[in-house]
Chains A and B, each alone.
Chain A
Amino acid sequence: GQNIDQPTEMTATEGAIVQINCTYQTSGFNGLFWYQQHAGEAPTFLSYNVLDGLEEKGRFSSFLSRSKGYSYLLLKELQMKDSASYLCAVRGASNYQLIWGAGTKLIIKP
């Protein structure tokens, strides 16, 4: 079967760094997305990785290892507004098909 695993919840301190992991087992692989979702709001796109390595975008970076079926989202210089759920989604064998993880709720404390 197809499966995506993320931690349910993480807590971090304002100004610190946090790494949110995502492991996946899918039929085929055509890229991995990270989305941010604030409570009661729509998911918004953060990053897309299809090749191995680190993609940096401001305070957020995303890493992919296809051989390990593993990705992480790295958030630096955490701000209170980063409190949200972070969803990992993998595009499987068919380009349209997105398999979603349950999301990681990130709580930022002062």
Chain B
Amino acid sequence: EAGVVQSPRYKIIEKKQPVAFWCNPISGHNTLYWYLQNLGQGPELLIRYENEEAVDDSQLPKDRFSAERLKGVDSTLKIQPAELGDSAVYLCASSLDGGRADNEQFFGPGTRLTVL
């Protein structure tokens, strides 16, 4: 079974440029998460989808970040314009049923973003 797929793995851009990350979750997983992880820290939730609906985007900086999951499968996270402080690893995760307490999350390899 294929795991969570993310691309690109690495991205280097100059500040004020736009950037987009793509995620394809495990087949059949209804819940998709985007996290940001800084070095030496735990993941921080940006947005959670149940199928195509964004059910928690309270931590997403909406002035510059946007996300979509149009058909309830793969998802795109965009930053426009990027700032120096956005340099981090962006992790995508999926779970079979995010409403179940024991449902583990499966993570993709992440996209390491460097903003110069």
Majority-rule SS of A interface residues: loop
Which size class do B's interface residues fall under?
A: 20 to 34
Q: When the two chains form their complex, are residues A95 and B98 in contact, meaning their CB atoms are under 8 A apart? A: yes
Distance between B9 CB and nearest chain A CB, rounded to angstroms: 10
Query: Which of B31, B42, B56, B101 sits near A100, CB closer than 8 Å?
Result: B42
Contact residues in A for B42 (Cβ distance below 8 Å): 4, 87, 89, 100-103
- The listed residue (A4, A30, A95, A102) touching B40 by CB distance below 8 A is A102
**B3 → chain A, closest Cβ, in Å?**
8
- Say yes or no: A33-B104 contact (C-beta < 8 A), given A42-B109, A42-B110: yes
Q: How far is the CA of A96 from the CA of B40 in the complex (A)?
A: 24
Q: CA of A100 to CA of B44 in the docked complex: distance in angstroms? A: 7
Residues of B near A42 (CB, < 8 A) are 4, 91, 107-110
CB pair A31 B101 closer than 8 Å: yes
Q: Which of A48, A95, A100 contacts B43 (CB 8 A)?
A: A100
Query: Which 5 pairs between the two chains have the least Cβ-Cβ distance?
Result: A100-B42, A42-B107, A30-B101, A45-B104, A96-B98
Q: Contact residues of B with A, CB < 8 Å? A: 4, 31, 40-45, 48, 55-56, 91, 98-102, 104-110
Q: A42-B4, A43-B107, A48-B102 are in contact. List 17 more A-B contacts (CB 8 A).
A: A30-B101, A31-B102, A33-B104, A41-B109, A42-B91, A42-B108, A42-B109, A43-B91, A50-B101, A87-B42, A87-B43, A89-B42, A91-B101, A96-B55, A100-B42, A100-B43, A105-B40
